[in-house]
Structure 1
Amino acid sequence: MSRAAIVGWAHSPFGKLEDPDVESLIGRVAADALVHAGVAPADVDAITVGVYNNGFSKQGFEASMVALAVPELAYTPATHMENACATGSAAIYSALDFIESGRGRIALVVGAEKMTGIPTAAVGDVLLSGCYRKEEAEVDAGFAGIFGRIAQHYFQRHGDRSEELAMIAAKNHRHGLANPLAHMRKDFGFDFCNTVSDKNPRVAGPLRRTDCSLVSDGAAALVLADEETAMSLARAVRFRARQHVNDFLPLSRRDPIAFEGARRAWTKAREDAGIAIDDLDLVETHDCFTVAEMIEYEAMGLAAPGEGWRVAREGQSSRGGRLPVNLSGGLKSRGHPIGATGVSQHVMAAMQLMGEAGEMQLDGAALAGVFNMGGAAVANYVSILERLK
C-alpha cells in the first residue's frame, strides 16, 4: 500500500498567547501550511481538525472554523477529531486513512487548543475528563495526581528515581533552548529540577513542578498527500509505519507502570517499518510528566521494564546520546496545548528529516519516531517517519 507523506506545515509559538480563542489559533496556521506545501486551497480534498476542548471553550464545532480562516475551503469536507491528549495524532491518522484509501490526494490537518482562557483550577477539572472519572476523579491534583500515583508505583517497585526524573526535566529544558517556538525556553539545570523549593514545589506524590508539562495555547498544521502527489512538491516526509493501539481506560484494569498499549504500538510500528530501535535517529515522545517519558523508554525498547531510569542517568536520550529524545524540548519545554500536541510532534520530526530544524537540527537525521498518547497511555500512537524527497 502506498503511504501518505507530509508535504508542508505551519506552527505557532506555544505559550500563554494573546489569541482570544481556538478560531484565531486555527487562523494562525491553516493558510500558512498550504503556502509552505505549495498547495492551493482548491486542491485540498479533506480537512481534519484536532481540538480537545471538553470545557476549555463553550464554542464547539471546531472543524467549521478552518473555512473562516481560508474562505476558499468553505465547501471542503471538514471533520473534528478528539482523543484526549492524542487528539492531534487522531486527526493526522484520520487524514492518512482518507488519502491511503484512495478517497482523495491532499488533506489539511490542524491541531489547536486555547487552554489559558479559563482559571487554572478549571483546567485541572477539564483534563480529568481524560481519565476514568468513576474511579479517578477524586485524585488530588487532577491529572498530575494520576501520574503522581504512577510515579509512586514505579518507585515502590524499582526504587526512588526522583533524580532520574529531574535529569529528564533538565534535559528537555536544555533541548528547548534551541526551539524558538517553545513555551519555556530556560535551562533550569539538574540541581533546580531535583530540589523541592518554593519555586519548584511538590505537585502530586513525588512529582515536582518541573516534572509536569505546561498549560499552553498554540496550534500546528500539516498538509498530507499521496506519494505520487508528494513527489511533485518541494518536500516529502513519508509515514514508513504508523500504529494506533488502545488500552483499558481505568488504571485499576491494568499494570499502571507497564504502558502495555504503548509497548504494543511501538513493537508493531518497528515490525511494520522493518527496523530496530537503534535504527532511529531521534524520537519525539509524550512527556506530559517526566515519569511518562521514563516509562516510554521501556515501551519503545530503549530499556528493559524497570530500567528506563538508566536511559536518563546514562545520557542516552540527550543530544549526542544513543537516541536523542525530544530535541524540540518536548511537552516539558515546548508546551502542551492538547489538540495541537500530536500535530506539533510530527512537525518537529518532519523539520529534522528535511534539515529545516534550525538550531534544533540533528546532523544526518534520516529516520524519526513519534509517540503521542491520550490519557495515561490509553490511546497510543506511534509514527515512523522518513524523508521521501
Structure 2
Amino acid sequence: MDLGVNIIGAYHSAFGKLEQETLYSLYEQAAKGALEDAQTEAGAIDGIFVGNYSGGAFNNQENIASYGVNAIPELRHKPMYRTETACSSGSSAIHMAIMAIKSGMMKRALVVGVEKMTALDIKGVTEALAMATYWPEEGNKAVNAPCMFADLAKGWMRQYNFTEEQLRSWLAQISAKAYSNAAENPLAQLQKPRTAEEILSIPDEKNPMINFPLRLHDCSLVSDGAAALVLEAADLQNDEAVTFKSFYSAADYLDSFGKNKSDHFLEGASYAVKQCLQDAGMKIDHMDVAEIHDCFTITEMVLYSAMGLTPAGREFEAIESGMVGPKGKLPVNLSGGLKAKGHPIGATGVAMHAAIYKQLMGQAWGIQKENAQRGMVVNIGGSGTSNAVSILERK
C-alpha cells in the first residue's frame, strides 16, 4: 500500500568542514533549496519539522526550529517542531511530517535536517555525542560512541568465533566501498578512493586504534551540513514524485550493547525493517538501492543481517560477493554513506532520504543505479536505541 505521502523536492548541501557556514546559514540554504527543487512557494507549506541533534552543545543554540521564520519570513506563524533521536533525528522529523500529513492536519510539510559540528574541537565533539548514551552509567564514565560500537564488534567476534584479523579485512572492504562511492559524489566530504589493500597497509600511526577493534578508518566523520525535503499529500496529484510505501521507528534500551540488548545483532533495526517490509507488502529482494547507517564500519556490516541480506554471523558474504557494491543486487550507500559522504548528525537521516529520492528520480548526486524503482533507508540513533526505516517507491 501507499501511505498517501510523496516527496516532491529535495536539497543536500556539501558535507564537510564548512568554515564559512553557520547553523543558521545551513538551515536557510536547505529550506530554500528544497522549496526551489519542489517548485513550491513557502506559503504553500503547512508546517516545518527540523531534525537537529544538539544545536545547544555544538552551537549554543537550542530552539532552532523557529529560525525558519528568520530564514523565510513567509513561514511566520506556521507550526515548527524540532525532533531529536540522536543520529536518527532527521528521519524522526520525516516520520513526524508523514504522520501530520496522514492525519489530514497538513497538506505539505518542509523537513530540514541540520548540524554544525566542527565549531568544537574533537574533545568537545566527543563530549557532545556522549550525551546520546545512558548518561548516569555511560557518558558520565567516559563511554562514547566508539566504545559502544567497539562492544558490538567484540560481541560479534565472540559470538561467531572470528579473529580481529578476519574482521579487519571485512571492515576494510566496507571502508573501501564507501571511499570509492564518495569519490563519485560531488557533495561528499571525502573525495579520495582507497582500496581495501591500501587501507590495510596504512601504518598504525596513521590508522590508529580508536577503541579495539575499531581503527580511525572504521569511523565516520565529524561534519557540517544540511538537507531538506518537501512532502505533500498524494491527493494533490503530483506525478513527478516518490511515494512512501511504509515507515517504522523501533525504540530500544538506551544503554549500550550487551546489557539489555544483543552485543552481536541489531535487534531494533531488524524489527523495524521487518515491520516496514510487512507494511509495504514487500521483501528485501524488492529493493533496488539502500542508504544504511554506517557510523562505524561494523554498523553497516551487522546491518546486513538485520536487513535480511545474510544470515547472522555471515554478514561478510554480502561485501565479499559484491551484493552491496555499486553493481551488486542491492547497492548500499552509493552516496558514500556516513563513513565518507559525512555525518552531520541531525542532517543525516534527511540526507539519506534525499539520496534515495534522487536515485529513484534518476537524478543521483553520485553514482546512479540504473532504473531504480524502490529504495530503503535504515537510520540508527545511539547504540541501536532509535531505529528508523523507510521504504520509498517511484510513482
Q: Which residue of 2 aligns with 1:246?
A: 251
State the Cα distance separating 1:135 from its structure 2 match: 2.4
Preserved CA contact (<8 Å) 1:244 1:381: yes
Q: Which residue of 2 aligns with 1:363?
A: 370
State the Cα distance separating 1:316 from its structure 2 match: 1.4
Where 2:57 maps in the other structure, the secondary structure is: coil
Preserved CA contact (<8 Å) 1:139 1:145: no
Q: Which residue of 2 aligns with 1:177?
A: 183
Where 1:56 maps in the other structure, the secondary structure is: helix
1:222-278 Cα offsets, whole Å, 9 max, x none, are: 00000022x236x21100111111111113111122211100000011111111111
Partners of 1:51 and 1:2 in 2: CA distance? 25
- Map 1:246-285 to 2 at 5 A: 246-251=251-256, 252-285=259-292
Question: Quick check: 119-128 or 12-21, which moved more?
Answer: 12-21
Q: Which residue of 1 aligns with 2:126?
A: 124
The TM-score normalised by the length of structure 1 is 0.96
Partners of 1:23 and 1:125 in 2: CA distance? 22
**Residue 192, structure 1, aligned to residue 198, structure 2:** yes
How well do the aligned residues superpose, as a CA RMSD in angstroms? 1.4
Q: Which residue of 2 aligns with 1:64?
A: 66
State the Cα distance separating 1:110 from its structure 2 match: 0.4
Q: Which residue of 1 aligns with 2:50?
A: 49
Partners of 1:132 and 1:143 in 2: CA distance? 11
Question: Quick check: 185-194 or 219-228, which moved more?
Answer: 185-194
Partners of 1:291 and 1:304 in 2: CA distance? 16
Q: Which residue of 1 aligns with 2:327?
A: 320
1:339-368 Cα offsets, whole Å, 9 max, x none, are: 000000000000000001154111010000
1:68-111 Cα offsets, whole Å, 9 max, x none, are: 11111112111111111000001111111100110010000000
Question: Quick check: 51-60 or 322-331, which moved more?
Answer: 51-60
Q: Which residue of 1 aligns with 2:38?
A: 37
Question: Quick check: 2-11 or 43-52, which moved more?
Answer: 2-11
1:192-248 Cα offsets, whole Å, 9 max, x none, are: 32245222111111111110000000000000000022x236x21100111111111
Preserved CA contact (<8 Å) 2:4 2:235: no
Where 1:63 maps in the other structure, the secondary structure is: coil
Partners of 1:117 and 1:35 in 2: CA distance? 29
Please list every run of 5 or more consecutive structure 2 residues that lacks an aligned counterpart in the other structure: none
Preserved CA contact (<8 Å) 2:253 2:260: yes
Partners of 2:159 and 2:144 in 1: CA distance? 23
1:118-159 Cα offsets, whole Å, 9 max, x none, are: 111110011011111222226667311211121111112220
Q: Which runs of 4+ in 1 moved over 3 A?
A: 138-141
Where 1:346 maps in the other structure, the secondary structure is: helix
- Map 1:1-389 to 2 at 5 A: 2-53=3-54, 54-137=56-139, 142-158=144-160, 159-160=162-163, 161-195=167-201, 196-229=203-236, 231-232=237-238, 235-251=240-256, 252-388=259-395
Where 1:221 maps in the other structure, the secondary structure is: strand
Seen in structure 2, the aligned counterparts of structure 1 residues 358 and 244 have a Cα distance that, compared at 3 Å, is closer
Partners of 2:339 and 2:25 in 1: CA distance? 24
Where 2:136 maps in the other structure, the secondary structure is: helix
Preserved CA contact (<8 Å) 2:324 2:331: yes
**Matched letter for residue 8 of structure 2:** V
- How many percent of aligned residue pairs carry the same amino acid? 40
State the Cα distance separating 1:302 from its structure 2 match: 0.3
Preserved CA contact (<8 Å) 1:259 1:377: yes
State the Cα distance separating 1:2 from its structure 2 match: 4.3
The TM-score normalised by the length of structure 2 is 0.95
Partners of 1:177 and 1:339 in 2: CA distance? 23
**Matched letter for residue 276 of structure 1:** K
Preserved CA contact (<8 Å) 2:3 2:244: no
Preserved CA contact (<8 Å) 1:124 1:141: no
Preserved CA contact (<8 Å) 2:268 2:384: yes
Preserved CA contact (<8 Å) 2:182 2:366: no
Where 1:310 maps in the other structure, the secondary structure is: helix
Partners of 2:130 and 2:313 in 1: CA distance? 27
Seen in structure 2, the aligned counterparts of structure 1 residues 44 and 78 have a Cα distance that, compared at 3 Å, is same
State the Cα distance separating 1:330 from its structure 2 match: 0.4
Preserved CA contact (<8 Å) 2:242 2:393: yes
**Matched letter for residue 243 of structure 1:** Y
Seen in structure 2, the aligned counterparts of structure 1 residues 5 and 177 have a Cα distance that, compared at 3 Å, is same
Where 1:360 maps in the other structure, the secondary structure is: coil
Partners of 1:148 and 1:141 in 2: CA distance? 11
State the Cα distance separating 1:295 from its structure 2 match: 0.6
Seen in structure 2, the aligned counterparts of structure 1 residues 345 and 191 have a Cα distance that, compared at 3 Å, is same
**Matched letter for residue 369 of structure 2:** L
Preserved CA contact (<8 Å) 1:221 1:344: yes
Preserved CA contact (<8 Å) 1:139 1:146: no
